[in-house]
């Protein structure tokens, strides 16, 4: 428990520091708020619940990583993140691909959170095909909900939502984003399920 408390404190401090730095002079203040709000909520929720419902170390690290991805995107706007421009130049992409990384993470990381909750709350058994399917479905639903939020932001804000949407002129951006989230959820379960299972066993021991 002491080790997990130290990890929660360290990751919380890292994410908080990133939030503070990113909020000093973001490219667009409204976009920053909209992008970093999930990271802020994660900080509050984990801070309030980590003693009575501690998460595995793997999931804690993944949540912090996702928060940092969101914060970086909020600071620059996804279409202007320097890392994305570097990848664009290095691999000859037609557009800044940072938002694609974000949407892949939107499936990859929530997949492990959903998997942990479904197993620990005894909704589904570990290792079953239904668990794999339901986790993928949850991640796809989260991605679709996010796209609906982007749609409403565009309707309400008009041109002011351009930085938040980050479509970069791609008419199929919404479909690509959801596909990447689905791919991320599949990859996460294929790559991390056994590691996650070992940590779940250690947590319940």
**pLDDT, tens digit, 9 for 90 and up, residues 57-93:** 999 999 999 999 999 999 998 888 999 999 999 999 8
- Residue 121 is classified by DSSP as T
In this predicted structure, which of 13-27, 65-79, 162-176 has the lowest mean pLDDT?
162-176
pLDDT digit string, tens, across residues 102-158: 999 999 999 999 999 999 999 988 878 999 999 999 999 999 998 888 777 777 765
Considering only CA atoms, which of 124, 29, 145 is closest in space to residue 76? Answer: 29
pLDDT at residue number 66: 97
User: Considering the entire predicted model, what is its pTM?
Assistant: 0.89
SS3 122: coil
First to last CA, the chain: 12
Per-residue pLDDT band at 4 (split at 50, 70, 90): confident
- In total, how many domains does the chain have? 1
pLDDT digit string, tens, across residues 27-51: 888 889 988 999 999 999 999 999 8
Count of alpha carbons within 13 angstroms of residue 70, beta-carbon side: 22
Task: Give the structural domain span for 56.
Answer: 2-204
pLDDT at residue number 94: 84
Distance CA 74, CA 58 (A): 24
Considering only CA atoms, which of 55, 72, 69 is closest in space to residue 180? Answer: 69
């Amino acid at each position: 428990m002491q080790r997990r408390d130290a990890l929660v404190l360290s990751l919380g401090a890292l994410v908080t520091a990133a939030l503070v730095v990113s909020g000093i002079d973001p490219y667009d203040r409204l976009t920053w708020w909209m992008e970093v709000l999930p990271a802020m909520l994660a900080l509050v929720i984990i801070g309030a619940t980590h003693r009575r419902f501690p998460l595995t170390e793997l999931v804690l690290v993944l949540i912090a990583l996702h928060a940092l991805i969101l914060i970086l995107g909020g600071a620059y706007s996804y279409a202007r993140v320097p890392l994305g421009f570097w990848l664009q130049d290095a691999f000859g992409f037609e557009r800044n691909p940072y938002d694609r990384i974000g949407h892949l993470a939107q499936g990859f990381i929530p997949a492990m959170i959903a998997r942990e909750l479904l197993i620990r709350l005894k909704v589904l058994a570990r290792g079953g095909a239904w668990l794999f399917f339901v986790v993928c479905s949850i991640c796809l639903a989260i991605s679709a909900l996010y796209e609906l939020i982007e749609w409403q932001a565009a309707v309400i804000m008009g041109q002011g939502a351009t930085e938040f949407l980050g479509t970069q002129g791609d008419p199929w951006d919404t479909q690509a984003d959801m596909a990447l989230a689905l791919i991320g959820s599949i990859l996460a379960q294929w790559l991390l399920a056994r590691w996650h299972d070992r940590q779940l066993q250690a947590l319940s021991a």
